[in-house]
């Protein structure tokens, strides 16, 4: 029983790490305040659910889900040529509301608020990841690959060019950098990874509905990024563990199940306010929030 619960938490840590680490790329490295990230997670989850429920092979569907989220990432990147800071944040927030509205109202495709039940677990080379232990191995492999990929990317000169945009976009452009292209690439990669995280989420929970992909669900992800520290991948990893495990304590202090969810949301929101106020660089960050 405890083993099962522990593996469940490890799976959530893996999925949320991929989601938060992929947000680091546009937010922490390129300086794009992207509130639309949760929409990419939702697009990935729904793509996986709809396609696998219609009989497509899950291994192929993972890639399709990431690719469709990446296409939306590219579309979201187009206005970044003109918009930045607060304006980009508001626009990306609007984007997440639009995606939520589509998931809620396109009932022929998504079944709206009723959600999609019975989502199949992944099958790779005839191996069905039906048990949580095997599913955890899959999540672990994808999370580790994501970490390695982001590590190589951000430590390379490409990552430094992204950081240059974050620090001073005009100066980067005056050194001949095509900053629009760089920002687009960072949003596309980030959306692809969020789409993969969404697919894993749908495959693990086996039921999704639009309420999992609202702005409220972005708050713990932002919290992970900020607690861990802007542009810090190790920080993101440790913060994911803390943010997934800490609210679990509420289960053990005898709170009624109907208020457990709202208490968790309040905890996330309060923690976000406190960390921004008292430790804006997070625990591993070297970059100031502006």
Residue 221 binds other proteins (CB under 8 A): no
- Per the CB < 8 A criterion, the answer to whether 286 and 232 are in contact is yes
How many residues lie near other proteins (CB under 8 A)? 30
- Taking the complex as a whole, the smallest distance from the CB of residue 278 to other proteins amounts, in Å, to 21
Those residues whose C-beta lies under 8 Å from the C-beta of residue 8, and which sit 6 or more positions away, are 132
Residue 154 or 217 having the CB closest to other proteins? 154
Instruction: Verify binding: residue 82, other proteins, rule CB under 8 A.
Output: no
Tell me the CB-side half-sphere exposure of residue 147, using CA atoms within 13 A.
Answer: 18
Pick the stretch among 40-48, 70-78, 138-146, 166-174 that binds other proteins (CB under 8 A).
166-174
Nearest to 218 by CA among 31, 73, 70, 33: 33
Q: How far is CA 222 from CA 115, 169, 229, 289, in A?
A: 25, 23, 10, 12
Q: Which stretch binds other proteins (CB under 8 A): 88-96, 177-185, 232-240, 260-268?
A: 177-185
CA distance 275 to 158: 30
Q: Which stretch binds other proteins (CB under 8 A): 105-113, 178-186, 192-200, 272-280?
A: 178-186
Site membership for other proteins, residue 134 (CB under 8 A): no
Tell me which of 10, 32, 47, 166 binds other proteins, using CB under 8 A.
166
173 counts as binding other proteins under rule CB under 8 A: yes
Place of tokens 């452009």: 173
Residue 35 gets which letter from DSSP? Answer: T
Q: Does 159 bind other proteins (CB under 8 A)?
A: yes
**Residue placing its CB nearer to other proteins in the complex, 51 or 150:** 150
Q: Is 177 in the site for other proteins (CB under 8 A)?
A: yes
Of the candidate spans 38-46, 95-103, 110-118, 149-157, the one that interacts with other proteins by CB under 8 A turns out to be 149-157
- Helix, strand, coil proportions of the chain in percent (round to 5)? 80, 0, 20
Three-state secondary-structure class, residue 123: strand
* Interface with other proteins, residue 286, by CB under 8 A: yes
Residue 96 contacts by C-beta under 8 Å, 6 or more apart in sequence?
35, 36, 37, 38, 39, 213, 214, 215, 218
Residue 245 C-alpha from the chain's centroid: 18
For position 167 contacting other proteins by CB under 8 A, the verdict is: yes
83: phi > 0 → left, psi -120 to 50 → alpha, else beta; which? beta
Cβ proximity to other proteins, 13 vs 27, nearer residue: 27
Minimum distance from residue 18 beta carbon to other proteins (Å): 17
State yes or no: residue 216 binds other proteins (CB under 8 A).
no
- The beta strand positions in 11-168, using DSSP E, are 123-124, 127-128
Under rule CB under 8 A, residue 7 binds other proteins: no
Six-digit token string for 273: 């306010």
When the beta carbons of 129 and 192 are compared against other proteins, the nearer one is: 192
**Beta carbon of residue 33, minimum distance to other proteins (angstroms, whole number):** 16
In this chain, which of 171, 216, 273, 274 binds other proteins, going by CB under 8 A? 171
Residues of this chain that interact with other proteins (CB under 8 A) are 149, 152-153, 156-161, 163-164, 166-168, 170-179, 181-182, 185, 231, 286-287
């Amino acid at each position: 029983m405890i083993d099962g619960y522990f593996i469940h938490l490890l799976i959530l840590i893996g999925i949320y790490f991929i989601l938060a680490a992929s947000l680091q790329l546009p937010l922490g490295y390129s300086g794009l305040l992207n509130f639309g990230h949760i929409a990419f997670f939702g697009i990935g989850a729904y793509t996986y659910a709809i396609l696998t429920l219609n009989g497509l092979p899950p291994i192929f569907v993972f890639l399709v889900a990431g690719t469709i989220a990446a296409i939306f990432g590219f579309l979201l990147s187009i206005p970044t040529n003109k918009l930045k800071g607060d304006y980009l944040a508001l626009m990306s927030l609007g984007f997440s509301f639009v995606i939520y509205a589509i998931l809620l109202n396109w009932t022929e495709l998504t079944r709206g608020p009723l959600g999609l039940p019975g989502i199949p677990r992944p099958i790779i080379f005839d191996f069905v990841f039906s048990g949580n232990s095997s599913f955890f191995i899959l999540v672990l492999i994808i999370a580790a690959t994501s970490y390695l990929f982001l590590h190589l990317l951000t430590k390379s000169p490409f990552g430094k060019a992204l950081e240059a945009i974050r620090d001073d976009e005009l100066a980067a452009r005056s050194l001949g950098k095509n900053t629009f292209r760089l920002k687009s690439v960072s949003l596309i990669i980030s959306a692809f990874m969020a789409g993969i995280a969404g697919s894993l989420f749908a495959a693990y929970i086996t039921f999704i509905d639009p309420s999992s992909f609202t702005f409220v669900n972005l708050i713990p992800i932002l919290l992970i990024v900020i607690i861990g520290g802007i542009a810090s991948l190790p920080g993101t990893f440790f913060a994911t563990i803390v943010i997934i495990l800490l609210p679990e304590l509420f289960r053990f202090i005898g709170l009624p199940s109907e208020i457990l969810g709202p208490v968790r949301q309040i905890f996330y929101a309060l923690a976000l306010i406190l960390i921004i106020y008292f430790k804006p660089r997070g625990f591993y960050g070297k970059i100031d929030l502006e």
